[in-house]
């Protein structure tokens, strides 16, 4: 709900990069992963999702999204190339604390995304100082406010 509110109360036709689908880094285990619920909610609200996870494969994501994912299959895609995941996105939601998400090149990403764009860091792995030099709105768990 907070993501939807920050994106002007509507995510219909907005593209959102989902970074991480596993419940924690260094595993392909998705049992009880918050990403499942969040992705389902965003799909129901009309968002387009580009989902990336280094170890969770597309068939597992398809299984976990279940009926909601199948009914909205044209609204989500699996991305195995992190650098292409950001193309024309309106927001990024970091849901798993993978090491490669801690090393994102924000200069590169800012040139790939739409403007204005949001970065939502639910794992507290992004330094606010790193993103404040780019044209991002930023929300981080524990910080709460955008920069």
Q: Is 85 exposed, middle or buried (0-12, 13-18, 19+ CB in 10 A)?
A: buried
Who has greater pLDDT, 147 or 129?
Answer: 129
Contact assessment for residue 21 and residue 55, using Cβ atoms and an 8 Å cutoff: no
Q: What HEC string does 33-93 produce?
A: CHHHHHHHHHHHCCCEEEEECCCCCHHHHHHHHHHHHHHCHHHEEECCCHHHHCCCCCEEE
What backbone torsions phi and psi does residue 57 show, to the nearest 5 degrees?
A: -90, 170
| Residue-averaged pLDDT of the chain | 94
CA distance 23 to 35: 7
pLDDT, tens digit, for every residue of 2-49? 899 899 889 999 999 999 999 999 999 999 999 999 999 999 999 999
Q: What is the pLDDT of residue 38?
A: 97
Q: What is the pLDDT of residue 67?
A: 96
What backbone torsions phi and psi does residue 54 show, to the nearest 5 degrees?
A: -65, -25
For the entire predicted model, the pTM comes to: 0.94
How far, CA to CA in Å, does 64 sit from each of 13, 31, 109, 134, 144?
22, 9, 28, 34, 29
């Amino acid at each position: 709900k907070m993501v939807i509110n920050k994106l002007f109360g509507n995510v219909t036709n907005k593209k959102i990069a989902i970074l991480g689908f596993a419940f924690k880094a260094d595993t392909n285990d998705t049992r009880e992963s918050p990403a499942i619920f969040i992705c389902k909610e965003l799909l129901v609200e009309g968002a387009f999702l580009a989902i990336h996870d280094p170890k969770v494969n597309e068939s597992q994501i398809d299984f976990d999204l279940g009926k909601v994912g199948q009914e909205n299959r044209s609204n989500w895609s699996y991305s195995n190339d992190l650098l292409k995941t950001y193309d024309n996105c309106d927001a990024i939601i970091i849901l798993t604390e993978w090491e490669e998400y801690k090393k994102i090149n924000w200069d590169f990403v800012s040139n790939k995304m739409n403007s204005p764009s949001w970065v939502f860091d639910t794992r507290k792995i992004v330094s606010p100082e790193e993103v404040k030099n780019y044209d991002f709105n930023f929300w981080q768990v524990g910080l709460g406010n955008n920069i």
